[in-house]
Amino acid sequence: MKKHNYSAGPCILPQEVFEEASQAILDFNNSGLSILEISHRSKDFVDVMEEARNLALELLGLEGKGYKALFLQGGASLQFLMAPYNLLKTKAAYLNTGTWSSKAIKEAKFFGEVKEVASSADRDFKYVPKGYFIPSDVDYFHCTSNNTIYGTQIKEFPNTPKPMICDMSSDIFSRQMDFSKFDLIYAGAQKNMGPAGTTLVVIKEDILGKVDRSVPSMMDYRVHLNKASMFNTPAVYAVYVSMLTLRWLKKNGGIAGIEERNEKKASLLYSEIDINPLFDGYADKADRSNMNATFTLNNDDLKESFDAMWKEAGINGLNGHRSVGGYRASMYNALSLESVQVLVDVMSELERKA
């Protein structure tokens, strides 16, 4: 039986994508060949790469606005250093909202001065700082749109004349916003876009070429742009499955359509967390993530039965990140409202029995 998969990443993808992706392993485009054995330079795959790059820009509403999309390797973690490598001249501003921002800050320090404009470390990253000041002498401002581990999400992004870089790994394509506010967006595919192995990078081209240092080829966005994301062998299968997922998203109403469903799922679960006396939300209400809901069970004696009950209900991946504990329900695009209802039913059943 198919599980209700709340895994934080790699994570659930649409069932029809799994089916189509399986078929392509056996026979891709009726070519008599598996997608795993063809050249990345073959027309069939070049078409996949181009469609993936175009779909990403189209869904984000960034077509014809000076942006290009790349599918690179090395995860979002490589972007922590690739971004400053290409963009940090002397000083950059970072907003610290959790583990991933902290890691991005650590890497940026190899390239220049980092000004942490605000941090929510003082309250275990339960909130998103607001009203901070971005100095005018920085090369860019960097933030993390959704904090996968702590379950917070930036609802309003600052206005700054400086280039804005955002790690959107865990909420890209989940909600509408004016993506043209950003100059560089990156996201590891495995949270909301595809399988592990590729990273989407969306760049406004005119921010490049301003640093003096020499940048090694594999680290240089311009090299990858010049080669249409084919400078070296791309993660063929991961790009293909991401492309299928983006097609699925487009067919299902694009970001506007999915946002509506994501809001329904999140409000269903958060209402249960708030109404059920056995559970407490981890993050401040105003900053709660619609993707990763973090919560705790306030009676340790019930932990064993709760864990047994949700497993029995066919739920997978509900344990919180090892650094936070408790529970985390990751409700990425492909998770259905019905799956959320199953979890909510288990939570209220626990209350009834307790």
- Residue of 4, 6, 9, 201 interacting with ligand PLP (CB under 6 A): 9
Structure tokens at 18: 């799994």
Contact 297, 303 (CB under 8 A): yes
Kindly tell me which of 276 and 289 has the beta carbon lying closer to ligand PLP: 289
Residue 280: active-site member: no
DSSP state at residue 225: H
- Is residue 191 close enough to count as binding ligand PLP by CB under 6 A? yes
- Is residue 330 close enough to count as binding ligand PLP by CB under 6 A? no
Using the rule CB under 6 A, give the single segment among 113-121, 162-170, 217-225, 279-287 that binds ligand PLP: 162-170
Neighbours of 352 (CB within 10 A): 7
Residue 212: active-site member: no
- Tell me if the bond preceding 135 is cis, omega within 30° of 0: no
- Is residue 150 close enough to count as binding ligand PLP by CB under 6 A? no
Residue 191: active-site member: yes
- Is residue 152 close enough to count as binding ligand PLP by CB under 6 A? no
- Is residue 144 close enough to count as binding ligand PLP by CB under 6 A? yes
Using the rule CB under 6 A, give the single segment among 109-117, 165-173, 250-258, 340-348 that binds ligand PLP: 165-173
Torsion from C-alpha of 175, 177, 180, 185, nearest 10 degrees: -40
Give the dihedral sign, CA 257/260/264/270: positive
- Is residue 242 close enough to count as binding ligand PLP by CB under 6 A? no
- Residue of 188, 195, 234, 254 interacting with ligand PLP (CB under 6 A): 188
Q: Least separation, in Å, of the C-beta of 330 and ligand PLP? A: 10
The pair phi, psi for residue 293, each rounded to 5°, is -95, 120
What's at 17, amino acid-wise? V
The pair phi, psi for residue 207, each rounded to 5°, is -90, -5
Residue 51's H or E segment, with its range, is helix 43-59
Using the rule CB under 6 A, give the single segment among 112-120, 166-174, 254-262, 306-314 that binds ligand PLP: 166-174
- Residue of 14, 75, 281, 320 interacting with ligand PLP (CB under 6 A): 75
Q: Least separation, in Å, of the C-beta of 182 and ligand PLP? A: 15
Contact 180, 202 (CB under 8 A): no
- Is residue 198 close enough to count as binding ligand PLP by CB under 6 A? no
Neighbours of 206 (CB within 10 A): 11
Q: Which of residues 98-137 bind ligand PLP (CB under 6 A)?
A: 100
The closest alpha carbon to 200, from 58, 340, 53, belongs to 53
Coil, helix or strand for 185?
A: strand
**Residues identified as active-site:** 100, 167, 191
Binding site for ligand PLP (CB under 6 A): 9, 75-77, 100, 144, 148, 167, 169-170, 188, 191
